[in-house]
Amino acid sequence: MRLKSLLLSAAILAFGASSGAAEEFTIGLSNGWVGSEWRTQMIEEAEEAAKKWAGKGDTIKVVVQSANVDVPGQIAHIRNFISQGVNAIIINPNSPTAFDPVFAQAKEAGILVVSTDAEVSSPDAVYIGINQKAWAEAGAEWLAKAIGGKGNVVAINGVAGHPANEMRASGYREVFANYPDIKIVNEVNANWDQAQGQQAMQNLLATYPDLAGVWVQDGMAAGAWRSIADAKRTSNIAATGEIRKDFIDLWVKEGLNSGASVNPPGVMASALNVAVFMLKGRELTKPATDGQYKNSMYLPIPFVNSDNVKSVATALDGKPGFYSYTQSLSIDEAEALFK
């Protein structure tokens, strides 16, 4: 009888080992800028992704530090997480290079560091998100073709110096350089703010009455298009767009000549799901060696244009105007990336 009981206990233990025992991890989320609803949605989607692990028997706790801080302030976020003894840190960083020393401290403490939305140079971190340069290139190629490969264009960028912003600027400049008859006549920053984007576009239209195209980043495109509409220029200006519901609705209603790469707010949720499998000791099938720092794993970049904008509008039906079109890796999709 005792032998049968021991054999049964051994079988249960073996099953538990093979099926994956339930685990508990604490993950710190650091967001160094709260100037847009996109960032709020990013955090909320990551928190929801953490809750879904309960269905797999695991407990994933998240600790959020989200504030408008400079680089030293975000470094303080990381040091707080290290002091708290979290298992992993996921950061949307304000600098590509300034975090190298504190990321090394996190690694020394046995903490996994994952960057999302913007790549970082640290060899002690992995980036999981879209290729921001490719994001910009897709929109720039669309715009170049939309204006027939010639004409004056302007660019309205996000926060100067932010790593994602700088990669995007590099991307569209390289594309337009391939079109000798396209001239970038001005580049301005509007800090991913819709009102600032609208004012910047108003100023640019007054300065350059012969504009053919506008390359504008998400968060500002709706504002830019309002100025284009106010100037009654929607029929002769092509401009990139954004993925918010309010702009998508305007796009469909007015039949705008627009195209938009999609940087889904779900990138942090994707990063969280991948990070959990890393914490479980799983090994990626394809190591994260992409990008300029050779530590990146890129996620797909959706693109919205006249061919699919109506289906995107349908997907956003019922959402508030500030809601961004999104996607993220589910737990099962994340696991498929591992051996």
Q: What is the CATH number of the domain that holds 225?
A: 3.40.50.2300
Phi, psi of 154 (to 5 degrees): -125, 160
Last residue of a domain, one of 240, 261, 282: 261
Residues 6+ apart with CB under 8 A from 58: 22, 23, 24, 25, 276
The verdict on 147 and 195 lying in the same domain is: yes
The verdict on 279 and 255 lying in the same domain is: no
C-beta neighbour count of 176 within 10 angstroms: 20
Range of the domain at 283: 25-130+264-300+325-335
pLDDT of residue 33: 87
Residue 331 has pLDDT above 90, yes or no: yes
Average pLDDT, integer, range 270-277: 98
Residue 305, domain member (yes or no): no
Structure tokens at 183: 């001239």
Residue 295 has pLDDT above 80, yes or no: yes
The verdict on 89 and 206 lying in the same domain is: no
Report the number of distinct structural domains present in the chain. Answer: 2
Residue 281, domain member (yes or no): yes
239 — pLDDT class (breaks 50, 70, 90): very high
The verdict on 63 and 79 lying in the same domain is: yes
Q: 287: closest CA among 126, 134, 131, 133?
A: 126
The verdict on 103 and 40 lying in the same domain is: yes
pLDDT of residue 20: 58
pLDDT of residue 21: 78
Rg (CA), the chain: 22
Residue 61, domain member (yes or no): yes
The verdict on 45 and 159 lying in the same domain is: no
Last residue of a domain, one of 242, 261, 280: 261
The verdict on 253 and 272 lying in the same domain is: no
Structure tokens at 240: 């990139």
Residue 156 burial (10 A CB sphere; 0-12, 13-18, 19+)? buried
Q: Which pairing describes strands 303-304 and 260-261: parallel, antiparallel, or unpaired?
A: antiparallel
Q: 227: closest CA among 190, 259, 200?
A: 200
The verdict on 256 and 289 lying in the same domain is: no
Query: Which run of H or E residues covers position 297?
Result: strand 296-298
Residue 169 burial (10 A CB sphere; 0-12, 13-18, 19+)? buried
Of 16 and 133, more confident? 133
Residue 105, domain member (yes or no): yes
C-beta neighbour count of 101 within 10 angstroms: 11
